[in-house]
Amino acid sequence: MQSFEKHALYFLLTHLFYGSVVGFIIGWMIIRFDFRGIGSMIDKSPDGWLWMILMFFGLFVTFGSIGMGVGIMSLGEERDE
């Protein structure tokens, strides 16, 4: 692996991590503040752990992708002069 490939991979993984942290915070807030009764339903369900894993996985994928997209789009240069 060449140095520029390592730099690009580190760049993407860093932004993926930031997006995943935001997804975790949003998921925690959904459960903590019982948004639309989701926290109560997870708590009362016998398979609540499964629903929580599915919810957090979806949030990680969504916000991780958004974080990577923001990182990539911020690399552009302004060419209007």
Per-residue pLDDT of the chain (81 residues; tens, 9 = 90+): 888 899 999 999 999 999 999 999 999 999 999 999 999 999 999 999 999 999 999 999 999 999 999 999 998 777 766
Using CA atoms of 64, 66, 72, 73 in order, give the dihedral in degrees to the nearest 10.
-170
Does a structural domain hold residue 73?
no
Does a structural domain hold residue 79?
no
Q: Is the pTM of this model over 0.85?
A: no
Provide the residue range defining the domain that includes 62. Answer: 15-68
Does a structural domain hold residue 24?
yes
Spacing of C-alpha 14 from chain mean position? 12
Does a structural domain hold residue 5?
no
Does a structural domain hold residue 77?
no
Does a structural domain hold residue 80?
no
